[in-house]
A and B are shown apart, each in its own frame.
Chain A
Amino acid sequence: MTAVADTVAESAAGNRYDVAVIGAGPAGMAAAAAAAENGLHVALIEGGRQLGGQYFRHPAPGLNEPWASQLHHGWSRFETLATRVETSSRIDVLFEHQVWAVEAGFNILTDRGPIAAAHVVLATGSYERVVPFPGWDLPGVFTAGGAQALLKGNLVLPGRRVVVAGTGPLLLPVAASLSVAGAKVLGLFEANHIRGYAKHPLPLLKNPAKLLEGADFARQFLRARVPLRSGLMVVEAQGTDALEAVIVARPDGTHRRRIACDALAVGYGLAPQIDLALTLGCEHKLLTDGTVALRVDTNQRTSLPGCYAVGETAGIAGVESALVEGEIAGLAVAAGVAKSRNGSPAALRRRRDRLRAFADVLRARHPVPPAWRDHLAPDTLVCRCEEVPARAVAEAVEDLGATDARTVKLLTRAGMGWCQGRVCGYAVACLARRDPTEPPNPADLLAAAKRPLARPVPLGVLAEQDRRNK
């Protein structure tokens, strides 16, 4: 990479990038590399301090443990990609730049000032979806990805005796890496039944690598004596000032069992992080699992000319899709600039479609079990930031007549805190339905994904932007 610009003033001095890639995870790195290799001048903008995003999160130099190398599947993919990014003279990697909004045209507003670019590739990844249960605010309860991030980034375990629970494919690598790092994984509880996969043989058979990966985890769990149980979920966390035990049960509350533990890693899948795109007005789609994703065409273009979306922003699909889609977008932007009629290679697009078909099966097999609502106690916090209990949300819906998430929010403050509803948004959308059998209203799910400021920014930064606009 060229010398990493210290300030935006320097990087953007009279300079408009051909393309700004937002997010330096697998998809963003691939997009930046492909675009730069095809002659474009690229700004790769990243809020953190390293390449790789959440998937390839790695410890700072100097940190080491004998087991550290076993935390990543396919680490060489990252090394190859990092070399492509770091050796390119056409990529400016801008670390520690938090993007809080994107203006059409494009003007990328960061906490360190604006960056101008002719095209933008959104590679902002995802965040984890969780639903409330009694005791989920106790220290010692982590999101599954949070436990993984702590381990991958710090080489620190969330606890010694850990329960992994929730639903979705992320739980497998989380349990595996905790076990490799020396934690006693007391169980991996997948809320959905795994046997449902047999109903979708075609996408599975077309992705043999995925099947082998699954078999790999199964062998690893057998060896480490990690019990894998499906059809069970954590319905309660217990403890006074920190986690002491969890109650695991069937979604209907039967087969309750108490497991003493000092950490719980829980997650109900991932949700695309698309607030920047929704504010820009990009078209979106509601997926079967209740997540909202960006609508893209075969070249990863969103509905907004010049704006592309790759990886999880187009629907949760995992690292392989992210890598392929990044390449496709990078090549497509370059082709557009060169006014070439060739977009991205058809082989890449076919591979992407195959991976996406597999991801659709995964999403369909791992819904949030609707019964999570039945396990709430009146004082269970729904909104952790504003400390809004389930009782207050129920009052808003049953007594005060709220019929949508926005009204619930205005009446209770649920979703108004620091996280801007990222943690409780899905739960509030569900609870705004008086009839628990009704799926959440799409408008409420969309509202939960949308926020005009994608990151909390100091007022001074807003004032500075206002001055620039005048």
Chain B
Amino acid sequence: MSVQFTFDGHPLTAQSGQTVGGALLAAGVRSWRTTRFQGRPRGLFCGIGVCFDCLVTVNGEPNVRACLAPIADGDVVTTQAGDGRG
């Protein structure tokens, strides 16, 4: 079953049961966070919730681990800048 979500405003499609990170990579998106100090792009690294590199903002909530959080229909996913708290 497919689900619709947006990433930085762009509509994308994922498969139900995928994680946010899996859905983004499947759509060709490789990074969804910029680091706090150097503003460098980051994406998925350890894939199992250990490294916290894949943090992303989902429906306004920052610091969600993209490798663990399941994607849901209607999710609004946005690139997280720094700690995501503006």
Task: Please report A residues at the B interface, Cβ cutoff 8 Å.
Answer: 47-49, 54, 59-63, 127-128, 137-143, 145-150, 153-158, 241-242, 384-385, 387, 417-419, 422-423
Taking residues whose C-beta sits less than 8 angstroms from the other chain, chain B's interface range is 35 or more
Q: In whole angstroms, what is the CA distance A215 to B52 when docked?
A: 36
Closest to A385 in B: B52
**B21 on interface, CB distance cutoff 8 Å:** yes
Question: Known: A156-B25, A387-B35. Contact between A139 and B43, CB under 8 A?
Answer: yes
Q: In whole angstroms, what is the CA distance A241 to B35 when docked?
A: 12
Q: Tell which of B22, B51, B55 touches A150, judged by Cβ atoms closer than 8 Å.
A: B22
Contacts of A60 in B (CB 8 A): 16-18, 70
**B12 on interface, CB distance cutoff 8 Å:** no
Least Cβ–Cβ distance between A190 and chain B, in angstroms: 21
By CB atoms of chain B within 10 A, which of A127, A141, A146, A423 has the most? A146
Are A62's CB and B45's CB within 8 A?
Answer: no
Q: Tell which of B1, B48, B68 touches A127, judged by Cβ atoms closer than 8 Å.
A: B48
Question: Known: A241-B31, A387-B35. Contact between A61 and B17, CB under 8 A?
Answer: yes
Task: Please report B residues at the A interface, Cβ cutoff 8 Å.
Answer: 1, 15-19, 21-23, 25-26, 30-31, 35-38, 40-53, 55, 67-68, 70
Contacts of A147 in B (CB 8 A): 47
Beyond contacts A145-B46, A149-B47: 17 other A-B pairs, Cβ-Cβ < 8 A, are: A60-B18, A127-B50, A139-B42, A139-B44, A142-B44, A143-B47, A145-B47, A149-B48, A150-B44, A150-B67, A156-B22, A157-B25, A384-B51, A384-B53, A385-B53, A387-B36, A387-B38
Least Cβ–Cβ distance between A418 and chain B, in angstroms: 3
Interface contacts (Cβ under 8 Å), in number, total: 114
Contacts of A140 in B (CB 8 A): 30, 43
Are A422's CB and B30's CB within 8 A?
Answer: no
Contacts of B36 in A (CB 8 A): 387
Q: Tell which of B45, B52, B55, B70 touches A146, judged by Cβ atoms closer than 8 Å.
A: B45
Q: In whole angstroms, what is the CA distance A143 to B40 when docked?
A: 19
Contacts of B50 in A (CB 8 A): 127-128, 419, 422-423
Contacts of B52 in A (CB 8 A): 385, 417-419
Q: In whole angstroms, what is the CA distance A433 to B30 when docked?
A: 36
Are B48's CB and A154's CB within 8 A?
Answer: no
Contacts of A419 in B (CB 8 A): 50-52
Are A387's CB and B37's CB within 8 A?
Answer: yes
Least Cβ–Cβ distance between B69 and chain A, in angstroms: 11
Contacts of A385 in B (CB 8 A): 51-53
Question: Known: A140-B30, A145-B46. Contact between A154 and B19, CB under 8 A?
Answer: yes
Question: Known: A62-B15, A146-B45. Contact between A154 and B22, CB under 8 A?
Answer: yes
Are A145's CB and B1's CB within 8 A?
Answer: no
